[in-house]
Amino acid sequence: MSRSSAPPIFGETRLTTRRLESLAGRIDAEREGGIEVRTPITDDEICRIPDCDEADVDAAVERAREAQASWERVPVDARAETLRRFGDLVLERREQLLDLLQLETGKSRRHGVEEVLDVPLTSSYYAERGPSMLADERRGGAIPLATDARVTVDPVGVVGIIAPWNYPLTLAVTDAIPALLAGNAVVLKPDEKTPFIALALAELLEEAGLPEGVLEVVTGEGPTVGPALIDRVDYVAFTGSTETGRTVAERAGRNLIGCSLELGGKNPMIVLADADLEAAARGAVQGAFTNAGQLCLAPERIYVEESRYEDFLDAFVGTTRRLSMGLEFEYGPDVGSLIDGAQLERVESHVAEAVESGASVLSGGRHRPDVGPYCYEPTILTDVDPGSRVACEETFGPVVSVTPVADIESAIEAANDSPYGLNASVWTADRERGVQVAREIDCGTVCVNDAYTAGWAAVDAPMGGVGDSGLGRRHGPEGLRRYLEPRTIAVSRLGPLDAPPGVPASAFVRILSGLTQFRRRLMRWL
């Protein structure tokens, strides 16, 4: 794409075609034509990226592997300082990053801010807490006083990260940050729809002091680049659909490497009779319609105790109808665009099928080409057929169903009636009861009186799914330990733990039995 043919949308940003071409030039691959990247704001092509193949992935992993050997030897405090500087740079350049994020995704700027701010938060957490997580840990030995044991950790080597298009800024690097702190190198494969924000972040990491080659970026089609990456790295972190996640896990298993998978969700929200309905309505709007509903943590099923059902609907519908839609590069609009035509078709078909099956549309339900080519109104459905796709499958758009339930037990049963288990929320004036209800919901994260932010932003706590929503966890110590290989070092002060010369086997067995009994009692006292 020539610089003279830059689409008019660039005039509303701090971006230029030259800037995007510079970012694409960071990828060490030469391919004729490449892959076109289009903005959902106008559906114009904004630039092209290299269409990498297996040989390109092989070269990127080898460069990363060579760089990792030196990076691992850098003291952990120095690695942490690099991440601190990176977080500072993200904050400093946030407006430029937001322009690029909006251009690639079409999300509203106010929703983009959540994504941008998550990166320095995660950087600071692992820079401050991470070094202590990497320290040697003393463990109990086989025989008290006579032996001891300690656990040391090593980086796994080269980590492959496959990032999605819906949160391409935070999910490109928040999985990479703990991997880098642990002394690993990273090869990042961003989604081909949203590659430039990942490339901009890679540039900032190098500016912060990350040595060349420690973070490599490869672009291209998922079916080509993904398998090639999994076959060459030592660990893979994937965020995306459940269907693709199964394929990733199968291939990782064949290669005997570890993997973490954050996959789809059909997240429930429970509103109890004593809840503050205005707060619950605001929470439902925030949860269901952030990023136009293209959020793996978004509630798509709301269950309300029937005594408050109508009141909740009034509050929820009223708040939803006050939302504004727009694609401006400013903080005004509440809701932006879907990513592309395929996602719009999915949303439209889910709603159309639901209506054909008897559902009522209380708000929204329309494509809005007057706002943007892929914009769709925030939509509230009731009377949804439990067997319809909108009730069972992840819509991944601004669509939510609301259903009355008889009591708390019925709400919990309905919430758990899904193969997914990523995120849920409970709304009640009695926070302790909310916690008790949360314990009974089969999800990796459950928020009380918040849709998802309280859980997601708790970076010291693990985040991930159960069932069809994935394996492993990001955030917290768990998000770092997945990138480590533990080693046990055991020391005996007595030499070989075997019968000494001249001691009959029967006597040695009695000694071992006595020591075992003593150890069991000691463990009980401790």
d(CA 85, CA 94): 14
In this structure, the strands spanning 185-189 and 158-162 are: parallel
DSSP for 224-239, written as a single string:
HHHHHHHTTSSEEEEE
d(CA 58, CA 34): 19
Three-state SS string over 456-520 comes to: HCCCCCCECCEECCEECCECHHHHHHCCEEEEEEEEECCCCCCCCCCCCHHHHHHHHHHHHHHHH
Choose among 101, 249, 259: nearest CA to 166. Answer: 101
Decide: 198 and 188 in contact? Cβ < 8 Å.
Answer: yes
Residue 214: DSSP 8-state: S
Map tokens 């430039």 to a residue: 196
Residues found in the chain: 526
Using CA atoms, how far residue 181 sits from 55, 130, 459, in Å, is 28, 7, 15
Nearest to 263 by CA among 178, 378, 162: 162
DSSP letter string, 146-201: TEEEEEEEEE-SEEEEE--SSSTTHHHHTTHHHHHHTT-EEEEE--TTS-HHHHHH
Q: How far apart are CA 109 and CA 276, in angstroms?
A: 28
Among 344, 341, 380, residue whose Cα is nearest residue 362:
380
Show Cβ contacts of residue 340 under 8 Å, excluding neighbours closer than 6 positions: 38, 40, 193, 374
Three-state secondary-structure class, residue 80? helix
Q: How far apart are CA 264 and CA 369, in angstroms?
A: 28
Question: Tokens for 363?
Answer: 């708000």
- The answer to whether 174 and 164 have CB atoms below 8 angstroms apart is no
Other C-beta atoms closer than 10 Å to the C-beta of 138 total 9
Residue positions annotated with a catalytic role:
262, 296
End-to-end alpha carbon distance in the chain: 69
